């Protein structure tokens, strides 16, 4: 799972860098996905240590949850207030939300698989 966190972190960094690069006003908020990406990569690196894996991946899942909900909320709120959708900022936020949502789903699946494996080991003993 640590390699998946690193992969999704890299994708978020590419998204943030791309948004920043193509935006006309070079707003630092375009780099928010990159910040989440750096945090996910750090969690993935820490998770390679057996003793810290559980905590690091729970933090990564929390980041995935925040990265899924926050941009989705921001796009919805702006659209409800103005009735307009900005393709660059709104699209970037939706892309971040989608990436983080997929990552979060993979985290939940992994947590369920680990719990099932632990339960099967306990029953075998």
Q: What is the pLDDT of residues 29-77, one digit of tens each?
A: 999 999 999 999 999 999 999 999 999 999 999 999 999 999 999 999 9
DSSP reduced 3-state for 95: helix
DSSP reduced 3-state for 83: coil
> Taking the CB of residue 84, how many other CB atoms lie within 10 A of it?
8
How many folded domains does the chain comprise?
1
Domain holding 55, by residue range, is 2-124
Share of the chain above pLDDT 70, in %: 100
- Residue with token string 């943030």: 16
Category of 85 on φ-ψ map: left (φ > 0), alpha (ψ -120 to 50) or beta: beta
The predicted model scores a pTM of: 0.90
């Amino acid at each position: 799972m640590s390699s998946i966190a690193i992969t999704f972190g890299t994708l978020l960094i590419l998204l943030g860098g791309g948004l920043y690069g193509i935006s006309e006003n070079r707003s630092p908020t375009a780099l928010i996905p990159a910040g989440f990406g750096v945090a996910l990569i750090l969690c993935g690196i820490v998770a390679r240590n057996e003793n810290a894996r559980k905590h690091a991946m729970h933090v990564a899942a929390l980041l995935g949850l925040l990265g899924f909900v926050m941009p989705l909320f921001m796009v919805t709120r702006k659209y409800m207030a103005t009735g307009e959708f900005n393709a660059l900022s709104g699209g970037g936020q939706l892309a971040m939300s989608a990436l983080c949502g997929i990552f979060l789903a993979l985290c939940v699946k992994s947590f369920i698989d680990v719990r099932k494996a632990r339960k099967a080991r306990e029953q075998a003993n």
